[in-house]
Structure 1
Amino acid sequence: MADTPQNSSLAWSTWARQHEAQATGLFRPRSIPELQECIEHAGATGQRLKVVGRGRSSSAIAQPTDALLELDYLTGLTRVDTEGLTATFRSGTTVREANQILGYYNLAFSNLGRLDEQTLAGAISTGFHGTGVDYGIFATQVTELKLVGASGQLITCSVQENPELFKAALCGLGALGIIVEITFAVVPQFRLHAVERGHSYTDIVHSFTERAHGSDHYEFSWFPGSAEVRTRRLTRLALLTEGYMPANAAVSQARRYGGDHLLNNGMFSALSYLGAKAPALQPALNKVSNWGKGNRRYADYSARVFTVHRTVRHSTMEYAFDISQFSELMSDIRAHCKGSPVQSSYPLVISTSAADDIWLSPAYGRETFYVSARSYWRQPQAELFSPLEAIFKAHGGRPHWGQFHSQSAHDLAELYPHFKDFVELRAKLDPRGIFLNPHLHRVLLEG
């Protein structure tokens, strides 16, 4: 049987400590057969079993009620095809580790989000995404999955094999089984040229759709109430190209380190703490934070530009919308924030993705833009999130599965054409609900 530590190590919480639990058991399987034993044991004893990754979600999607299971030993690359451009990883591998491994083979993921601490399984199961209207969410890069079901069986799924399960499991919320192996379509290593600068809110919001379609990867951040936004445009480059600063340019690297680590983590932590203690100062502190970022441009290997290391704990709420709703939604958000007494130390972040056909993907069937709101972990998140969520719901937004939201199955069934299909498939694969918890029960089963 897999490792089972003492009860003193069974406490669990999300990164921002919004959700906590005390598990009844902890399993760390060292192989797929050991994992199958864990599942069979849970079924025989009537326990629920919840896989936990790195706890970066702001929702209770991974909160254990009985035993929890960690995949810390199921990590690493199992095979790579440098000609066919595929790479297969065990599911407990983190995005950061996978980026490093792919770099050894001069390969890369075609698109990534800002965070890289989460496991690959957790990233695809919750709808992790980057930005770019021509690029889908992270799970669209997956070509094959292997998962262990509630009866302990190992199931392979892809477009050719078990295609319905494949489309469901690519954003499966951890409710269909435990993913153990993931094969990705990868690309030759490339570089990104980043341009980050301030612009007028009016100029960017009025032209956002055109700018997004005219860029490889485009996003902007905005402190509500500010007349300025900060844009981030990423342009894909060949691995070796003339005319751009080299990846290891000393001045470029020093400026990035200062901005990404000293300012965005060190100084920002102090500003957020001060804002939590003295909320009236938050608007002024946000001006300091925004001013400190400055304008910059740089080039580096793709994974080093897509991802940014963050150490300041925070909660997140993110909703996805049809890109045709952009102007109307931003107008409503701006009107709300203008009269709101609550301000976050974080800006709203607006990004995009291509439409896809993954059953529970927030980008299912429509070219999508996302609005991400964050709250410093010491501040009450409901005061910020609840009014914004009411606006998001009114516009038919789909919540990020790994972040804060209050939607129930009744609400969500209206947002996803394949919601009923997913629920029926889950019931077939896990009739005893071994992989459920109260949060999944609410978003999948409660009317």
Structure 2
Amino acid sequence: MKQNKNGVWLSWNENITYNYKSLYTISTEEELQEIVKNSEKIRIFGNKQSSADIASGAATLVDIKSYNKILSYNDAEKTITVQSGIILGDLIEAVEAKGWCIPCLPDINTITIGGALATGTHGTSGKLLSEYITKCNLILADGSLKEITEKDDLINAVRVSLGVLGVLSTITFKCESIYTLHVKEGPENDNEWLPKIKERLKKHDFLRILWIPHTDKGYVITGDKINPETEINEDLGSSFLKHRRKASKILYKYTHIFPWLTSIANKILYQGFFSGTKEHKGSLYQATVTKSRGSTLELAEWTIGLDDFPKVFEELKTEINKWSNKSFIHIPMDIRFVYSDNSWLSYAYKKEVVTMGCVSRNAATADTYEAFKTIENIFLKYGGKPHWAKRFMAKDAEFSKIYDKWEDFKTLRRKLDPTNKFLNPYLTEIFNEKTNN
């Protein structure tokens, strides 16, 4: 265990800073228990890739990335047990080496597992990543260790907990046999892809749509399970496509000053990067997960029931296409699909949902990015829920209306953490707790 004293914590995009008294790096569960037990206020962080102010803001911090071992496999049950600081990419590579997969993966592979689970990270055409937990160890506020299995009622509160019930220590995931996806990608008009969503969810094993605001176009990605020996005519498109981030950075450079330039930029980017087709195959991880991401963006993401999505989409599209407002949106808006579950703070609690991402390519000016406000207002109007790791303004008053188990979760949180050890200023507001505790 190593300790640094009296430093400054800086977020991924350098837009959040906090002073801390102690910062620890650890490698064992016992060390983590000791630090939790002896701290008055503590937060755990990994690669800092959250746009929400969730990872720091406490006197004691733990950098969890060195707590990253694979602890065991169970071949008969296809499970893997890991420490919570392991990076998703390392976990999936270990799983695939066994001929297994986790059947729903997030968009990027550089996040720590503990942070991903705590904030409800998800992929598409499956459940939240946390739904594949079969067992976990949770370090409680007094430093004691509690083992929770999928048979315990508490698991539905712990699966998505924002790190306020305790610290996830070790996690066991249930895996499936690995499979190969045949992926096809290509553009469609909005009036083509929107009515086909439910049909495609039934037909395909994987569905994701990258919507291109201000162009009336979506870029549809489908995947179907095939025999790995099946030959396809692979076409990954022009080598020029790898320059999309660079082109976006140039075209969006002044859009915070002149928002209307976004509309022009999007049309150019559509023609350059989204107007062609692709075809390829690979495992879910190989074929669909982004292996790197530049730290030049800020994100919001909202979810809505599958049946409500078409009207929410049309209202959002109408609103952002008005030249009278400043809510011009950078590309793409990532549309994904999550199956229902029973986790209390899940976006998909007891219903299938559609998620819609909203990105600002200018992280430094994200606070004035009007699109974040617009998408939040529209989704909240229909009972939508924000992604816990991304940008939103909603607090306790809004969450009490849209989460059926919100008050139950708050009651449990107070029981497990009566001194508010795991709350930072941001989370104190989220849960409307008194600041003198």
TM-score normalised by length of structure 1:
0.90
Structure 1 position 212 matched with structure 2 position 211: no
Segments of 5+ residues of structure 2 without an aligned counterpart are none
Distance in 1, matches of 2:132 and 2:239, equals: 30
Q: Which structure 2 residues correspond to residues 234-273 of structure 1 after superposition, within 5 A?
A: 234-238=223-227, 240-244=228-232, 252=236, 255=237, 259=241, 262-273=242-253
Map 1:215-364 → 2, pairs under 5 A? 215-238=204-227, 240-244=228-232, 252=236, 255=237, 259=241, 262-273=242-253, 275-276=255-256, 279-293=259-273, 294-308=276-290, 309-339=292-322, 340-364=325-349
Within the candidate set 29, 35, 39, 1:38 is matched to 35
The answer (yes or no) to whether the contact 2:46–2:111 under 8 Å persists in 1 is: yes
What's the % identity of the aligned pairs? Answer: 22
**Cα displacement (A) at 1:410:** 2.0
Q: Tell me by how many angstroms 1:157 deviates.
A: 0.3
C-alpha displacement of 1:329: 0.5
Alignment counterpart, residue 69 of structure 2, candidates 49, 73, 76: 76
Q: Which residue in the other structure is 2:393 paired with? A: 406
Residue of structure 2 equivalent to 1:64: 57
Separation (CA, whole Å) in 2 of partners of 1:390 and 1:191: 40
Specify the alignment match of 2:410 in structure 1: 423
Residue 387 in structure 1 maps to residue 374 in structure 2: yes
Q: Could you tell me how far apart the structure 2 residues matched to 1:128 and 1:256 are? A: 31
Deviations 1:393-441 (A, max 9, x none): 1011011111111111121112112112211111111111111111211
Change (3 A) 1:166 1:296: same
Distance between the aligned counterparts of 2:344 and 2:117, measured in 1? 13
**Structure 1: how far apart are the matches of 2:115 and 2:197?**
30
Amino acid across the alignment from 1:244: I
One-letter identity of the residue aligned with 1:421: D
SS in 1 for 2:364: coil
Q: What displacement does 1:68 show? A: 0.9
Does the 8 Å CA contact 2:212/2:219 hold for their aligned counterparts? no
Length-normalised TM-score, structure 2: 0.92
Give aligned pairs, total. Answer: 427
Note if contact 2:185-2:277 (Cα within 8 Å) is conserved in structure 1: yes
| Partner amino acid, structure 1, of 2:278 | R
Q: By how many angstroms is 1:446 displaced? A: 4.8
Distance 1:157 1:336, change over 3 A: same
State the alpha-carbon separation in 1 of the partners of residues 310 and 239 from structure 2.
35
SS at match of 1:208: helix
CA distance in 1, matches of 2:130, 2:29: 22
Counterpart in the other structure of 1:110: 103
Secondary structure of 1:192 counterpart:
strand
Alpha-carbon distance, 1:278 to partner: 5.4
Matched residue type, 1:314 = L
Secondary structure at the aligned position of 1:24 is classed as strand
- Partners of 1:312 and 1:272 in 2: how far apart? 15
Contact map agreement 1:147 1:179 (CA 8 A) in 2: yes
What is the CA-CA distance between 1:164 and the residue it aligns to? 2.8
Give the root-mean-square deviation of aligned CA atoms: 2.0
Higher share of residues assigned helix: 1
Q: Deviations along 1:8-29, whole A, 9 cap, x unmatched?
A: xx32233233322122210112
Q: Is the 8 A contact 1:25 1:68 kept in 2?
A: yes
Instruction: State the Cα distance separating 1:182 from its structure 2 match.
Output: 0.6
Q: Matched residues in 2 for 1:28 and 1:352: separation?
A: 36
Q: Secondary structure at the match of 1:236?
A: strand
SS at the partner of 2:118?
Answer: helix
